[in-house]
Every structure is written in structure tokens, then in C-alpha cells.
A and B are shown apart, each in its own frame.
Chain A
Amino acid sequence: MDRNQLIKWIEAPAKMAHKYSLHAVYFCTGCGIIEIPPAITARWDAERFGVLPAATPRHANLFLITGYVSLKTLRAIIRTYEQMPEPKYSVGFGSCPINGGMYWDSYNTIKHLDRYIPIDGWIAGCMPRPEAIFVAVTHLWTLIEKDMADGYKRYRVHYSEYRANQERILGALEWPPLFPKE
């Protein structure tokens, strides 16, 4: 953790600020939500890393998708992700967003979350322990440091493909495209 290295703050203050102030939108998907309260309460304190739960997506810059994503949940996830201000980072938590996990042959869950919203990193496990959240946060710091956590930029660039995938699975979407084609 290089939070106390003043020289880095002077060189790249925005990057350091994004690393050490990751507020996660408290969106309770699936099974993994049971692992978030232990991580933010007294035993495994997440606030010392700068990670706090945020009440609304407008205040947040980290999105943890903590479990299986059914089709109804995917609708809510897309709306929440699009409301977050940029730069924003999204992390898939558990094995269900990665490849369907335990629900690999279910008729109602999506199998690869990466094809609908951009994901910066995955945490494997079913469910991962709270320590895994902290390992993921430190990995995310490294990614931010190297400018590799560019999920939001990919969303902008490939928006038409993401939207096509979303409409393919969910049918017609009630909200207009976030980045309209000029």
C-alpha cells in the first residue's frame, strides 16, 4: 500500500485518489451479499482500505456483482452500472458471473457477465471469503496503477455491441442508449 508516499500523490493525485477511495454501491445480488457485511464490519475492517458502502450508484465508483445474475437482476445491474459516474470499476464476485457457476445449465441466469457489462476483474469462489475481497481490492489497485482498469472506457468504445447483447437476452430495453450514435 503506497498511500503514504507523498511523491506519488504529487505526481498522479487523481489516480491515487481513485485507488484509496473505492466506494462500493451496496447492490445486493445473489448469494454473495452475505459476505459483504462481515467485510465492512469490525472483524475484517474494509474502511481502513478506503472501501465504504455507498447508498446510491451516483456516489459510488466500485460495483461488486456478488453472485448469480438472473435476467431480472441483469436489467437492474445494467441500469445501476449506467448511473455510476466515470471512472468506475466493476468486479465479478464468485464463480457465477464468470461462467455460470453452479447454475451453468439454468434457463434463467446469464452465464458470462462479461458480455453484458464490462468487468475489470473476477474473484473466484463460491462464495469467496472476506479476505478474498481484500485481495481483489489490492489487485484492483495494481490495475488502476497500471491504467489497465479501463472497463468504463471499453463500455464507451464497444457500446453498440454491449447493447446488442443486452437486447438479445432481455428483449427491448425501456431506457434509451447511454451513448447514442451520432
Chain B
Amino acid sequence: MSDSLRDRLEVVFKDISSEVDVDGRLTVHANPASVLSVLGFLKDDGYDYLVLVSCIDWIDEGALEVVYVLSRYLDPADTDGGRVPMLLKTRVPRESPVLASSIEIFPVAEPHEREIHELFGIRFYGHPRLTPLFLEREYEVPPFRKDFDTRQYVEEVFGNVPPVGEGTQAL
């Protein structure tokens, strides 16, 4: 099944590459420009459940890799033997990370993209509200990037808060 999907993908899209690993999981690598069309193709093909959108920071290669995990609900006629998710990966440069938002195809991607924007700094154009979801403060370097020095940040921000009075007394 995944092999026939690979063949069909390679027929339609000229600039993608794909591989299947030992568990039978298909991984498709695409360019940022063609992500939306590949997602639309996969959704029409039956992978209509977006499990999550995640991000990996390849600091040595200078890229941020966005990973879409897609799956399908169990179909009794499916001879695939279970719900094996498939991955769609794309890389954006670290200096100016911009990607198209996939909300028209999968509306459930909205909080995932908001989180990735907040923690990695990727701007998704077409997203209705890229406001902070978890964090309260502003960060110059987004916290999940590998060049964010947590120890230095903690010493600067939290270590410099002065204690009040004599603190807690010992019994």
C-alpha cells in the first residue's frame, strides 16, 4: 500500500523523495513550496487525520525541519493491518523561517503551528493568530532552538531577582 502510494506520489510530484523504514512507515521529504499540495494529495488519498505538527532544529545544517505526522482512521476493508502513520518532512532555513500554514487543509493544525511559532520562531503565513500560547515573557532567541542558552537565561532573569526581607526563618 505504501509502495503504491510512493509510486503515485512520485508520478504527480517531481521534486520529492521518499523512503520506507523497517516498520513500514513512509517518510516523504518535500520542499517548503510544495508542502500544501502534497498535504492536499495525501488527504484526498485517505490520510485525513493530522496527528501533530512538530519541528526539529538542525543547527549544524542551518535548517529547521517541520514534520507533519499523518494517519488514517481504521477502515475494516484496509489490508494494511493497522494504523501506521506516515511522515511528511520539509526544511526551512534558520535565518528566515517562513512556511505556509496548512489550516485550510487541516484546521486542527492551528494550535500546533502557534506552538512552533512561539518556541522555534517559524512564521506561518495565513495563520489567523500567531499569539503566545504557553509563554508569558518575550524571548530574543526562541527557547527551543539549540542556540538558546538556558543556564545563562536563568541566571540573568531569575537569578537577579532580589530576595525580600530575611527570607524564611529556620526553626
Contacts and interface: CB of A to CB of B under 8 A. Distances in A.
A binds B: yes
A111 B171 contact: no
B158 A111 contact: yes
B51 to A, nearest CB: 25
Interface stretch (A8-16, A22-30, A53-61, A115-123): A115-123
B171 A165 contact: no
Contacts of A106: 150, 154
A86 interface: no
Contacts of B165: 154, 157-158, 161
A35 B14 CA distance: 57
Contacts of B162: 115, 161, 165
A98 B168 CA distance: 10
A142 interface: yes
Given A111-B154, A115-B162, A158-B164, A170 B136 contact: yes
A134 interface: no
A168 interface: yes
A168 B137 CA distance: 11
Interface in A15-67: none
Contacts of A169: 137, 157-158, 161
A105 B143 contact: no
Contacts of A115: 161-164
A104 interface: yes
A139 interface: yes
Contacts of B139: 107
Contacts of A96: none
Nearest to A122: B168
B143 A112 contact: no
Determine which residue in A107, A108, A143, A170 has the highest number of CB atoms from chain B within 10 A of its CB, and name it.
A107
Contacts of A148: 169, 171
A71 interface: yes
Contacts of B8: none
A66 to B, nearest CB: 17
26 contacts: A75-B136, A105-B151, A106-B150, A106-B154, A107-B139, A107-B148, A107-B154, A110-B158, A111-B158, A111-B159, A112-B158, A114-B163, A115-B162, A115-B163, A115-B164, A119-B168, A139-B171, A142-B171, A154-B165, A158-B164, A158-B165, A161-B162, A169-B137, A169-B157, A170-B136, A171-B136
Interface of B: 134-137, 139, 143, 148, 150-151, 153-154, 157-159, 161-165, 167-169, 171
Interface of A: 71-72, 75, 100, 104-108, 110-112, 114-115, 118-122, 139, 142-143, 148, 154, 157-158, 161-162, 165, 168-171
9 nearest A-B residue pairs (beta carbon):
A71-B136, A105-B150, A111-B158, A161-B164, A107-B143, A158-B164, A115-B161, A158-B165, A105-B151
Given A106-B150, A170-B136, 6 more contacts: A107-B135, A107-B143, A108-B135, A115-B164, A119-B168, A169-B161
